[in-house]
Structure 1
Amino acid sequence: MDIATLLDKARQTCSIPSDNALAQRLGKTRQAVSNYRARGLWPENDTIAQLARMAGEDAGPWLVEAEMTRARSESERRAWKKIAERLSHAAAIALVALLFNSPAQSNDRSIVSQQLSETRQNDAGLYIMRNQTGAVAGSTCWIGCQRTATRQGMAWPRRFS
């Protein structure tokens, strides 16, 4: 993920013919957009959010990527990377919830349900639980908490204070 990709997606989605026209639409100079693309410089966060809206994408991952790039120390970069990982876990939960609540064929659901029940957890420590109807119970998923579950049972993690 880089700023050039976001610029291209925004241009394509909005049918903007050039970076100059994109700059006018953003209220920026042509040179600013050229610097974003050529030098990989990330714009201000409000401009990133505007570009993400134009591209039809969630601004969160793009903003985190920008902050990781702007980070001045390795510890700051690691902190932003953890936030990016948590965002991707939340997206995975949303995808599974969408899958179980979509009008897909019951055969497709049973295959995914079987795979989820066999694995129970992924390598990142994200736990997904189902209620009796097969729907994902989103409130039972904890992101960013201590990993305390075992294969035999679940011990609820403590919230960080």
Structure 2
Amino acid sequence: MSAGESESALVRRLHELLEPVVLDHGLDLAELQFRREAPGWVLRLIIDADDGVSIDDCARVSREVSHLLEVEDPIEQAFSLEVSSPGLNRPLKRERDYFRCRGKMAKIVCREKIDGQNVVIGRLGELENGDIVVETETGPVRVPLAQVSRARLLVEW
């Protein structure tokens, strides 16, 4: 098994191990990353909820995850644990992210042109048959989720 394959196996194992902890707190594990960064290895959990995530939510999950990782010991090298919310300009990766963020402004970059454009900016509407309806300045645009290269909420002031 190559280093990349073993790392993805570790990430899958960590996800299986840690997602129930997050769910037990009524939260959603939006993303799990384990990667080498400038200060060393970092295990990053991005948690989310329909009504937002508080600092107390992050602290509770962090304490419980830390304890579980000490007991299970699935990671061989030293690492730092970070637990946070996705932030105001959060990426949209899963169908439930689009559902949760209905009514908010987003920028969606598509793999292929949709209505003559690769970038769709507008207010997220309903999910319909694998498409997200986006209300743009020129009217609604249906974007197939399968065509999304990347998407992010836009901060509205």
Q: Please, what TM-score do these two structures have when normalized by structure 1? A: 0.28
Q: Please, what TM-score do these two structures have when normalized by structure 2? A: 0.29
More helix by share: 1
More strand by share: 2
Task: Pick the structure with greater CA Rg.
Answer: 1
Q: Which has the higher contact order (CA 8 A, sep 6+)?
A: 2
